[in-house]
Amino acid sequence: MQPRRTSLALAGTALVVLAAAACSGGSTPKASGGSSPGASGSSGSSGGTSAPATYQTQHRGGTLHLVAKSAGGTLDPMVNYTLQYWQLYQATYDGLLAFTKRAGQASFTVVPDLAQSMPKVTDGGRTYTFTLRKGIRFSNGAPLTTDDVVASFKRIFTVSSPTAGTFYNGIVGAGACLKKPATCDLSQGVVGDRNAGTVTIHLTNPDPELPYKLAVPHASILPKSAPPKDAGTTPIPTTGPYKFASYDPNRALKLVRNPYFKQWSSDAQPEGYPDEIDETFGLTVESEVTAVENGQADWVFDPPPTDRLNEIGTKYAAQAHVNPLTAVWYLAMNTNLAPFDNLKARQAVNWAVDRNSVVRQYGGQNLAAPVCTMLPPGFPGHVDTCDYTKGGGSTWTAPDVAKARQLVQQSGTAGAKIGVVVTDDEVNKSIGEYVQSMLNSIGYRATLKPISGNIQFTYIQNTKNKVQISLTSWYQDYPAASDFLDVLLSCASFHPGSDSSINISGFCDRSVNAQMEQALRTERTSMSQANALWGKVDQAVMKQAPVAPLITPKLIDFTSKRVGNYQFSKQFYMLVSQLWVK
Amino acid sequence: MTSDTSIAVPAGSSARRRRSSAGPWRTALVTLRRDRVAMISLGIFLLVVLACLLAPVYEHSVAHTDAFTSNISGTTIVHGKPSPVLAPSSTGLGLGVTPIGPTWDLHHYFLGADGQGRDVMARLLFGGRNSLLIGGVSALIACGVATVLGVAAGYFGGVLDAVLSRLFDVVWAFPVYLLAISLSVVLLTSGLTVGPVHIEGDSLWLPILIIAVIYVPYVARPLRGQVLSLRGREFIQAGVGNGASDLRILRKDVLPNVMPTVLVFLPLMTALNMLTESALSFLSIGVQPPNASWGTIINDGLGLLYTRPMVTVAPGLMIAVTAVTLNLLGDGVRSALDPKARLRGAA
């Protein structure tokens, strides 16, 4: 997904790709984070331990005050696609499966949530059977039944969830539902047996990544009475430890305890600590930081302004928590438009870009690290390799501007006019200015085109806008290499003329695509072998240089002095409900 | 400015009498020279202009820098020692990067660096050139076009007046900044094409034309009113009665009477247009990077407000000083060209 405020339009494309992941054959998929991500090099991380903690009743109670510049849009968990609310959904909604709500690497593990156990997988990976836990109630008192589960999967399509066409398009009947959401019929795809308490999901093709997709908020199980349209600001009853009590996007939202919640799994859905959690909107980020410094708020949602970083890192170091993210910021070069339809021109950009300068623009080496590949360090499939570093080596050390200039001359593209499209926020614009300067220095005539973050992500996807190069970023949806490489750079995710063409470079290389398909097929039998293949795909992509990976960012959580028990999940970031304010 | 402030002199009617007296222009110039506030303002303004014109000299021969190229990983000399232009924090958690502050050394980042590691002083001077250029040229265009349209509407009346007046009303009906922002946003991405002429989105001509267009009614409407008033005056009627052509009456009788109004408008409009340019550039829809104007530099400094306020304060001061001096100069010009004001001063 895109960073904090996600464009809903991205989904459409993104997951045509994943449909490809669901090719045939295969055996039992790895139900738990089989991606086995490597160590994430989180030297600056303060995300706490991954050991399951016992509930400490002495810290129960109080009100946690969160602040954000603006609201995150609809409260509907099947529609909202922002990290802002996905963080809150962790303590409110549940799916059949869930990512472990623990700190560190363990957070990538999928565990049973509303399901009693991991699904029974049959029919060569095409059928998943879940048995529901008993005794769970929604926050309105209604018991959870298989009818709710069946209705929830149907609702994914009736509300046109952003990932309906990508994550869940492999369910039998999904194709028709995507075409005509109003008359969606999933009766062949999701079958509930009320007496047995089971739900069976039938897929058209095996999908080893299905457990991940069932563990994100778009697959939340809601009451069957939930409206068949975006619920907007009206809260839908929850199953987790909290429920939404009120929501005014112009002012605040409030979570209170769900009186019907009884912890069934500390891994999947632990009991929360604060009695209430409120999030106030409308402050400037500067004011938010000041409020936390003064103890008037407990956590800032928005990234702190760059000119407050030093202050936070020195005077308030004990309250700052820095954690690496599985994300990449990169330059997408349009491989179908001059000058970047020329391989040497694309390689020149990769040679010329000073990733250390980008790191500084982002906030310094403790907030970002240079990268050479699309798969972030520590992510499944990542291999330390760098084709574009001065003097060679497996990690990036310095740019080689002379070589870049030479390549530009050889490519015959010197003097070409290039528009650099970035979002108009401070950090992106600043990096964009650097990229413009860099392009000018190697022989191009670059102009900067900063446009609103609300439209930039879809604008750069549409080939009609003739974007030559753009600065963008990608944050994982779930821990699988395909979520980066297949989603962002496969032929299937390139849709000329569409706002939902997440393959922004328009990169479609038959050889690389074949490698991707092989990796996806291998996932059904061995995730480790598949990851090794994804590593090779990553390197093959970089040989063609449709993108210039820049940095992998880190996240600062700035909390108030009174906050305790900070835990950082790599999947959904700070575990809000686990914070102590008492 | 209304017709009350004009010099209602039958300019073409008595060349002999004009020769025998000092003449209205010379009198106005003498009066202006005696206005100490206006003269001091003019002096300061000219100093600012001169400094800005010398920007390339400062950049190449004094600061030895490039005002338009990022220098994020570069170093400079402070107190004889090399120092990074953008210094990563080395204390606490080591978060953030801070550009070098003012060194007060003309050769090395006199006013410090911005977030791209560029010399703020050099950019301030180059930015001033653009701000003043856009303010001045757009004021000239706005006043020129407004004079033609306002005089034509007021003198010929009828359908032409009705059409032009409604056109002014339509443009005037939009809030000035809203209109400017809308035009800028639309034209920035694709540029402006008029017939065979294409203006790139990052060209300075774009803000110049946008600002000029939105302020035409601001000048044209009072000029039209003034000409309407002049048209009924005896010396115009006498010209008509003597069979003088419209062109001759416009050239000899009307224009000389509206020119003082235009001259008063000019410095005021320059200041106003410069402020508008700064506002648009501040919103990233005026001058485009890496080019600079005072507005863009303020925008660049926003993210450094807590650590390096000089990046914002310096261009802000320059805008304030220039706008104040131009307004004081405009007041002086108005007093000098307004006979009633002179009479009031004499009394």
The percentage of chain A sitting over the pLDDT mark of 90, rounded to a whole number, equals 79
Q: Which of A367, A437, A550 to mutate to test the interface with B (most CBs of B within 10 A)?
A: A437
Q: With beta carbons less than 8 A apart as the criterion, state whether A127 and A113 touch.
A: no
**Chain A contacts of B288, Cβ < 8 Å?**
447-448
Residue A531: pLDDT above 90? yes
Q: Would you mind telling me the total number of residues written for chain B in this entry?
A: 347
* SS3 assignment, position A529: helix
DSSP A49-118: --SPPPP-GGG---EEEEEESS--S---TTT---HHHHHHHTTT---SEEE--SSBGGGG-EEESSBSSS
Question: Looking at the predicted structure, is the pLDDT value of residue B189 above 90?
Answer: no
Residues from chain A contacting residue B284 (CB–CB below 8 Å): 424, 429, 450
Is the CB of A306 less than 8 angstroms away from the CB of B188? no
CB B325 within 8 A of CB B45: yes
**Å from B198 to nearest chain A CA?**
15
Task: Grade residue A44 by pLDDT with cuts at 50, 70 and 90.
Answer: very low
Q: Chain A partners of B69 at a C-beta cutoff of 8 Å?
A: 437, 440-441
Query: CB-CB: which of A305, A356, A434 is closest to B70?
Result: A434
Quote the distance between the C-alpha of residue A301 and its chain's center. Answer: 16
Most confidently modeled range among A16-25, A155-164, A443-452, B135-144: B135-144
Nearest by CB to A447, which of B86, B115, B288? B288
> For residue A1, what pLDDT is reported?
61
On the question of pLDDT at A5 being above 90, the answer is no
Lowest-confidence region among A97-101, A147-151, A451-455, B179-183: A451-455
Chain B contact present for A414, CB below 8 A = no
Q: What is the pLDDT of residue A535?
A: 97
> Which of the residues A42, A447, A558 would you substitute to probe the B interface, choosing the one with the greatest number of B C-beta atoms within 10 Å?
A447
Cα–Cα distance for residue pair B113/B308, rounded to 1 Å: 9
What's the pLDDT at A532?
96
Predicted confidence (pLDDT) per residue in A74-109, tens digit: 999 999 988 889 999 999 999 999 999 999 889 999
Q: By the 8 A CB rule, do A256 and A278 touch?
A: no
Helix/strand/coil for A254: strand
Alpha helices by DSSP H, listed for A367-425, are 401-411
A339, two tokens: 């000058």
- pLDDT tier for residue B139 given thresholds of 50, 70 and 90: very high
Low-confidence winner among A39-53, A99-113, B91-105, B299-313 (lowest mean pLDDT): A39-53
Inter-chain residue contact B200 with A447, CB threshold 8 Å:
yes
What's the whole-number mean pLDDT along residues B17-31? 74
> What is the homologous superfamily of the domain B40-55+120-346 according to CATH?
MetI-like (1.10.3720.10)
Using pLDDT thresholds of 50, 70 and 90, give the confidence band for residue B19: low
Per-residue pLDDT band for A162 (boundaries 50, 70, 90) equals: confident
Domain residue ranges of chain A, discontinuous segments joined by +: 327-555
Could you give the angle at the alpha carbon of B215 between the alpha carbons of B213 and B220, nearest 5°? 100
> For B245-269, how does the pLDDT look when each residue is reduced to its tens digit (9 = 90+)?
999 999 999 999 999 999 999 999 9
Q: Count of CB atoms within 10 A of residue A465's CB? A: 17
* Residue A562 binned pLDDT confidence (cut-offs 50, 70, 90): very high
| Interface contact B92-A434, CB threshold 8 A | no
Which of B68, B91, B93, B186 best probes binding to A when mutated, by most A CB atoms within 10 angstroms? B93
For residue A434, give how far its alpha carbon lies from the nearest alpha carbon of chain B (Å): 6
Looking at residue B340, its pLDDT comes to: 67
> From the CA of B329, how many Å to the nearest CA of chain A?
37
Read off the pTM: 0.82
Query: For position A16, what pLDDT does the model report?
Result: 36
C-alpha B322/C-alpha B317 separation (Å) is 8
A448 CB neighbours in chain B (<8 A) are: 202, 288-290
In Å, how far is B46's CA from the nearest CA of chain A?
32
User: Per the structure block, which two tokens stand in for A440?
Assistant: 């000018």
- What pLDDT, on the 0 to 100 scale, is given for residue B187? 86
Mean pLDDT rounded to a whole number for chain B: 89
Burial A241-273 (b: 16+ CB within 10 A, else e): bbbbeebebeebbbbbbbebbeebbebbbbbbb
Under an 8 A CB cutoff, do B91 and A305 touch?
Answer: no
Q: Decide: A287 and A281 in contact? Cβ < 8 Å.
A: no
- Residues A327-555, CATH architecture: Roll (3.10)
A503-511 average pLDDT score: 95
- Residue pair A321/A566 in contact by the 8 Å Cβ criterion: yes
Q: How confident is the model at residue B24 (pLDDT cuts 50, 70, 90)?
A: confident
DSSP state letters, A508-547: --HHHHHHHHHHHHHHTT-HHHHHHHHHHHHHHHHHH-SE
> Nearest CA of chain A to the CA of B304: how many Å?
5
- Assess contact for A344 and A352: CB atoms under 8 A: no
Chain B residues with at least one Cβ partner in A under 8 Å: 68-70, 72-73, 86, 88-89, 91-98, 115-116, 188-189, 200-202, 284, 288-290, 302-308
Pairing of strands A445-451, B86-88: unpaired
Residue-range domain boundaries for chain B? 40-55+120-346
What does DSSP assign to residue A331?
E
Give the pLDDT band of residue B188 (cuts 50, 70, 90).
Answer: confident
From the list A4, A6, A25, A9, the residue with the least C-alpha distance to A165 is: A9
Structure tokens at B321: 């000083």
**Mean of pLDDT over chain A:** 89
Cα(first)–Cα(last) distance of chain A, in Å?
34
Lowest-confidence region among A187-201, A262-276, B8-22: B8-22
